[in-house]
Amino acid sequence: MWDLFGRLALSTFKRFQRLNRGDTKVLICRDGTLFRKAPGPFRVITEVPEYWTEDIRKTDAVLDIGANAGAFCIRAARSCSHVVAVEPVTGDLLSENIRLNGVHVPVIKAALGDGRPAEITWDGCTASVPTYTLRQLIDLAGGCDFLKCDCEGAEWLIDPADLSGIRRIEMELHQPPIGGTPNPQFLEAVAASYGFEIERTPCHGPMGKMGILHAWRQGNDSSPG
């Protein structure tokens, strides 16, 4: 095992050396995942340990809504072959990071919403993009078994019926001032069809975050534990 780890670390280090010749600037994470430094003022999220990912299956179709720089979708693509990312603001950087890491993740430059075009702002950067309902995004992605979603309050626009067929959910839940009023119908639908836990930390309230929703559909042996 240590021999395999050593070979992986050496391979990653050599690739990192090649990438950093000249003026390129690349960050390397402890697990070897590579990220281009942001050309703008927005944050580049490189690690997302708050999400439970151990139960991603090789046969899963994974949909990453709000992919940012690719911290979730790039790693998910090492566990299964069908991963699609949705990102409205940092899509170009996301595509570059996917290329750097040698994984296959198509990128949809759009946002979760009600189907009308919208201006989406992230860390002072604004993009005018199309929005799609969850069902439309699932259709564009070719399916969804495992949903990761961090979309700054747009999760409350999800039609509960669109959760049909989704086995697992990892989702950041927002409340004012980031998001609007939580949708009780969405929460009721999750409670009716999924085992779930909402993980909170002391920072969530002041930041306008309710917490991280971990949900697994009941009755099909899908509990992450």
Pick the CATH number of 47-217 from 3.40.50.150, 1.10.10.10, 3.30.70.20, 3.90.1150.10: 3.40.50.150
Percent of the chain with pLDDT over 90: 70
Domain ranges of the chain: 47-217
For 32-101, where are the alpha helices, taking DSSP H only?
A: 71-76, 91-101
pLDDT tens-digit map of 108-152: 999 999 999 999 998 889 999 999 999 999 999 999 999 999 999
pLDDT at 101: 97
Statement: residue 37 has pLDDT above 50: yes
- The mean pLDDT of 38-44, rounded to a whole number, is 82
- The mean pLDDT of 176-183, rounded to a whole number, is 84
pLDDT at 196: 96
What is this structure's pTM?
0.87
Statement: residue 179 has pLDDT above 70: yes
Q: Are 156 and 113 in contact (CB under 8 A)?
A: no
Statement: residue 5 has pLDDT above 60: no
User: CA-to-CA distance for 23 and 199, rounded, in angstroms?
Assistant: 41
Over the range 135-163, which residues count as b (16 or more CB within 10 Å of their CB) and which as e? bbbbeebeebbbbbbbbbbbbbbbebebb
